[in-house]
Structure 1
Amino acid sequence: MLGNRIQRARKAQGFSLRNLADLVALSHAAIKKYEDNLVVPSSDILLKLAKALKVKVEYFFRPERFTLENLQYRKHADMPEKQLEEIKARMLDQIERRVELENLFPSSPIQKFAVGEKKIKSYNDIDNIANQVRKQWNLGLDPLLDLIDIFEEHGIKVFEIDNQEYPGFDGLSASINNMPIIVIGNRWPGDRQRFTLTHELAHLVLYGFMHPDLDEEKCCNRFAGAFLLPKEALISILGQHRNYIEPRELSLLKQEFGISMLSILHRIEDAEIISNALYFQLRKEFNEKGWAQSEPGPQYPKEKTHIFEQMVFHALAEEYIGESKAAELMNMPLESFRNLRAMECQDVAHH
Structure 2
Amino acid sequence: MRTDQPTIPGTDVSTATPKAVWDAFHAPRLTQARHLAGLTKKEVAQGIGVSPAAVGQYETGSSKPRPELIPLLAEVLDVPVEFFLAGRPLGKIDSSLAHFRALRSTSGAQRDKVLGFAGQVWELAYALERRVRLPVVDLPGFAGGEVHPGEDLSLDPTEAARGLRRHWGLEAGPVRHLVRRIETHGIIVVAPSEADRTAAKVDAFATGGLPRPLIVLTPNRADDVCRHRFSAAHELGHLVLHATSTGDSQQEREADTFAAEFLTPRDDILPLLPRRLDLARLAALSRTWGVSVHSLVYRYRELGLVSDATTSRAYQRLRALRDQPGFGPEPVRGFPGEQPVMLRQAFELAERETDLTIRALARELAWKVPHVRELLGMPDNRPVLRLV
Superposed pair shares fold, TM > 0.5: yes
Query: What does residue range 73-222 of structure 1 map to in structure 2 within 5 Å?
Result: 73-105=100-132, 108-115=133-140, 116-120=151-155, 126-161=157-192, 168-177=201-210, 179-187=212-220, 188=222, 189-207=224-242, 215-222=250-257
Query: What does residue range 159-308 of structure 1 map to in structure 2 within 5 Å?
Result: 159-161=190-192, 168-177=201-210, 179-187=212-220, 188=222, 189-207=224-242, 215-238=250-273, 242=275, 244-271=276-303, 275-277=305-307, 280-287=309-316, 290=319, 297-302=327-332, 303-308=338-343
- Cα separation, 2, equivalents of 1:206 and 1:292: 35
Q: CA deviation at 1:323?
A: 4.3
Compared with structure 1, are the counterparts of its residues 224 and 294 closer, same or farther at alpha carbon in structure 2 (3 Å cutoff)? farther
SS at match of 2:191: strand
Q: CA deviation at 1:27?
A: 3.8
| Matched-pair contact (CA < 8 Å) for 1:262–1:292 | no
In structure 1, the residue matched to 2:147 is none
Deviation track 1:175-199 (CA, whole Å, cap 9, x = no partner) reads 2245322222134322222111111
Q: CA deviation at 1:325?
A: 2.3
SS at match of 2:215: strand
Q: CA RMSD in A?
A: 3.5
- Cα separation, 2, equivalents of 1:39 and 1:11: 19
Compared with structure 1, are the counterparts of its residues 65 and 224 closer, same or farther at alpha carbon in structure 2 (3 Å cutoff)? closer
- Cα separation, 2, equivalents of 1:103 and 1:130: 33
- Cα separation, 2, equivalents of 1:127 and 1:310: 33
Deviation track 1:143-164 (CA, whole Å, cap 9, x = no partner) reads 3333222112112222335678
Query: What does residue range 23-34 of structure 1 map to in structure 2 within 5 Å?
Result: 23-34=47-58
Unaligned 5+ segments in structure 1 are: 209-213
| Matched-pair contact (CA < 8 Å) for 1:17–1:31 | yes
| Matched-pair contact (CA < 8 Å) for 2:286–2:292 | yes
Q: CA deviation at 1:77?
A: 0.7
SS at match of 1:205: helix
> For residue 13 of structure 1, what is the amino acid of its counterpart?
A
Unaligned 5+ segments in structure 2 are: 1-24, 141-150, 244-248, 333-337, 384-388
1 or 2 for the larger relative contact order (CA 8 Å, sep ≥6)? Answer: 2
In structure 2, the residue matched to 1:211 is none
SS at match of 1:140: coil
SS at match of 1:182: strand
- Cα separation, 2, equivalents of 1:344 and 1:75: 27
Relative to the length of structure 1, the TM-score reads: 0.79
Q: CA deviation at 1:225?
A: 0.9
Same amino acid, percent of matched pairs: 23
Aligned length: 327
SS at match of 2:354: coil
Deviation track 1:310-332 (CA, whole Å, cap 9, x = no partner) reads 11121122116344223456965
> For residue 333 of structure 1, what is the amino acid of its counterpart?
V
Pair 1:47 & 2:71 matched: yes
> For residue 170 of structure 2, what is the amino acid of its counterpart?
L
- Cα separation, 1, equivalents of 2:28 and 2:323: 43
SS at match of 2:39: coil
Deviation track 1:116-164 (CA, whole Å, cap 9, x = no partner) reads 43345xxxx6434323212221221343333222112112222335678
SS at match of 1:46: helix
- Cα separation, 2, equivalents of 1:271 and 1:230: 11
SS at match of 2:207: strand
- Cα separation, 2, equivalents of 1:11 and 1:172: 16
Decide which moves more: 80-89 or 315-324: 315-324
- Cα separation, 2, equivalents of 1:215 and 1:41: 45
- Cα separation, 2, equivalents of 1:347 and 1:186: 22
